[in-house]
Structure 1
């Protein structure tokens, strides 16, 4: 990392993020990330926030989001004002919701094959946690909608 400015050159950023310089170039061209500034020799310099963004991109890619979907998410989160903790938590929440959605889809064929008594037993075991999750999401949604 550059000692005087705490900014990464592309090679340093690539190494810190565990990706290739070529990937950073590609993400820059797509508008997923942007250099903070350029040096006198025209080297691109990236901030630590860019490193955090690259980590978010990697998490979302692992969850099978397309780069277009990732770009859309990043733009939404940036419009929130750039609070790092908030965007980290929203990223994690979105990833968990996507995992939950995928798991529910995987369970659907299994549920169709179950006997009614088995379905009731399964419902009884997940209902309290499911209701708590739904209530938490309602509280979150209400907080967002009350702000507008």
Structure 2
């Protein structure tokens, strides 16, 4: 094993993810081992750790794994491609913002309807309660 290479357990501990997560990300093509040691031990380079950190950062921004698949390789390419990756993330985030704006409008309308329904039900309740002043 090269000094620069890590086994999956070491990578998982260092990145704060499970080995199962690493296997899943491999199936999605988000990371890949550089080599295998013997029959089954995967070996990873430092880039795999960097990719896991980038995946975590993009997830915190709200990107789905599908969206991350679209941009992750751009972050680990030449400078021009790296900028394209950032622009793609910006575009995705703007799309998310538009969706949130629509949802906020819908929630605001729903809130107004709830207030009207509450007021209507309170009025019906008040009319049905016998006068307690007697």
Scaled by the length of structure 1, the TM-score of the pair is 0.54
Q: Are residues 39 and 6 of structure 1, via their aligned partners in 2, closer, same or farther at CA, if it must alter by over 3 Å? A: same
Structure 1, unaligned runs of 5 or more: 110-148
Structure 2: unaligned runs, 5 residues or longer: 106-134
Residue in structure 2 matched with residue 65 of structure 1 by the alignment: 63
For residues 17-28 of structure 1, the aligned pairs below 5 Å read: 17-28=15-26
Q: Kindly report the root-mean-square deviation, in angstroms, between the aligned alpha carbons of the 2 structures.
A: 3.5
CA contact (8 A) 1:10 1:44 kept: yes
**Secondary structure in structure 2 of the residue aligned to 1:56:** helix
> Displacement of 1:41 after TM fit?
3.3
Q: Does the CA contact (< 8 Å) of 1:6 and 1:47 recur in 2? A: yes
Alignment length, in residue pairs?
104
- For residues 41 and 68 of structure 1, the distance between their equivalents in structure 2, rounded to whole angstroms, comes to 31
Larger radius of gyration: 2
User: Of 97, 101, 115, which residue of structure 2 is paired with 1:102?
Assistant: 97
Is contact 1:56–1:91 with CA below 8 Å preserved after alignment?
no
Paired residue for 2:41, among 37, 43, 57? 43
Say if 1:93 and 1:32 are closer, same or farther in 2 by CA, change over 3 A. Answer: closer
Question: Residues 40 and 88 from structure 1, CA distance in 2 versus in 1: closer, same or farther, beyond 3 angstroms?
Answer: farther
